[in-house]
Amino acid sequence: MIARCVGVVGDGVTRSTTPQPPLKGVILVGGPSTGTRFRPLSMDLPKPLFPIAGRPMIHHHAAALAALAGMREILLMGFYEERIFDRFLDDLRNEFPQIAFRYLREYRALGTGGGLQHFSSELLRGNPAHLFVMNADIASSFPLREMLVDHQARSALATVLGIETDRSEARQFGCLVVDPETAAVKHFVEKPETFISNVISCGVYLFNPPIFDVMSEAIAARRATLQDELALDAEDVQASQQDERVNLEVDVLSRLTATGQLFAHVCVPQIDFWMQIKTPTSTIPANRQYLQYFREHAPRKLSRTEAELISPVYVHPSATVHPTARIGPNVSIGPRCTIGKGVRVRDAILLDQVDVKNDAAVLSAVVGWEGKIGAWCRVEGAPAESNQANEHATHKGMKIPTATILGKNVTLANEIAVRNCIVMPHKEIKTSCHNEILM
């Protein structure tokens, strides 16, 4: 497992001595209109840059891609404004100088498949042998190396990363029916109404360049369908810009299953983890998953401080934590935070410049940028999760404990309790509240 340390690069150990074919990676970041379920945390920062375990959400993707021998270029693709990822990309260039990073902006939402097709010439420049494509809103151990080995051994056109999930929850995802002997995907259905399979798509794909031919076919087929169904003439379809909106999973992958060209690499239970990050509350288990994974595989990404600390914890070097505070487990504390004496923090994410006064408790919560938590406050998510609930989050992706989410610059008066609340940015809360959304 050491060979799979996320983001551990440049130490030579993880790189094979045999030359690897050139690789590229694409992270599908979406746009401002796709992160609504992530409010209020997406109101002040694009969701893909939201920090989880001390790093932007998609830094974990980029680091996993960068750790692969042969990785030449990593591209973000989406429809956010141009400059939004500038600083993030600069940081990546500094961290991984041997790899090129770029943002490809879609000027209109093309759908996951449409966007890839639109930028096909960019993506194929430099003749990469394989192309990783991954969704931004996931947290995972990203077993990309194993996926690549499988992909090459099977001479696959496309490989999808899958994970076994609980039977009752599989229907919320794209379900894969995998041949147990050949690993070929025999059937793929997005969010089926009935049970199909307990193996689901993780939204991580590995393609060979001919995939773009399949995408062209899918676009042509969709255009024809639209004309039939909507009884529109070709001109109207062009004008409505519907034709290029091809969904990678629905339109392309199901097409590949018919020809036997899609294979699955299924995550190893107990070792790999994967979950979606759709809502603010899901950042808590995602943070926990990454921190616990780092404890096993990349302990130097975690922190030691003078405070009473229960691993795993990440504390930014510029944060100040009083020695009598008790931090952890599963806590990320951002830059320039101030944690006062006798403070308790567990299962929480504190973003930049959060100020927690003495003896306050922050439990199962996200505190937004510049948040101010008064003395003896209690900021808390649902009742303490049992071990069973933790396991639940680990293996089933979507099942997440509820949490209290404070937007940017929220101020809590001394001694109040805020439990299971979502608080919009720039609010001042003076009395205790429970189970509320505070506008």
Partner 1 sequence: MKALILVGGFGTRLRPLTLTMPKPLVEFANRPMILHQIEALVRAGVTDIVLAVNYRPEIMSDFISKYEKELGVRITFSVETEPLGTAGPLALAKDILGKDDSPFFVLNSDVTCEFPFAAMIAFHKAHGAEGTLLVTKVEEPSKYGVVVQYPQQSTIERFVEKPKEFVSNRINAGLYLFSPAILRRIKPTPTSIEKEIFPKMALERQIHAMDLPGFWMDVGQPKDYLTGTGLFLTALAKSLAAPGPNIVGHVLIHPTATVSPLAKLGPSVVIGAGVTVGPGARLARTVVLDGASIKAHAWLRDTIVGWNASVGRWARLEGVTVLGEDVHVAEEVFLNGAKVLPHKSVGASIPEPTIVM
Site for partner 1, rule CB under 8 A: 324, 326, 341-342, 344, 346, 358-359, 361, 363, 375-376, 378, 380, 383-384, 415, 417, 419, 434
Cβ-based nearer residue to partner 1, 147 or 354: 354
Cβ-based nearer residue to partner 1, 196 or 375: 375
Residue from 381, 364, 375 nearest 411 by CA: 375
Question: Left, alpha or beta for 221 (phi > 0: left; psi -120 to 50: alpha)?
Answer: alpha
Cβ-based nearer residue to partner 1, 99 or 416: 416
CA distance 251 to 217: 10
Query: How far is C-alpha 341 from the geometric centre of its chain's CA atoms?
Result: 34
Cβ-based nearer residue to partner 1, 279 or 414: 414
Cβ-based nearer residue to partner 1, 151 or 419: 419
Give CA separation, 192 vs 126, 147, 169, 198, in Å. 39, 25, 11, 11
Residue from 242, 14, 12 nearest 113 by CA: 242
CA distance 18 to 12: 12
CA-CA-CA-CA dihedral for 254, 258, 259, 260, to nearest 10:
80
Cβ-based nearer residue to partner 1, 251 or 355: 355
Sign of CA dihedral 86, 91, 96, 98: positive
Kindly tell me the burial class for residue 192, based on how many C-beta atoms sit within 10 Å of its own C-beta (0-12, 13-18, 19 or more): middle
Q: Quote the least distance from Cβ 268 to partner 1, whole Å.
A: 34
Cβ-based nearer residue to partner 1, 120 or 358: 358
Q: Quote the least distance from Cβ 359 to partner 1, whole Å.
A: 4
Give residue 302's identity as a one-letter amino acid code: L
Q: Quote the least distance from Cβ 344 to partner 1, whole Å.
A: 4
Q: Quote the least distance from Cβ 434 to partner 1, whole Å.
A: 7
Cβ-based nearer residue to partner 1, 284 or 361: 361
CA distance 425 to 317: 26
In the structure encoding, which two tokens stand for residue 39, read together? 């409010």
Q: Quote the least distance from Cβ 277 to partner 1, whole Å.
A: 26
Contact 163, 146 (CB under 8 A): no
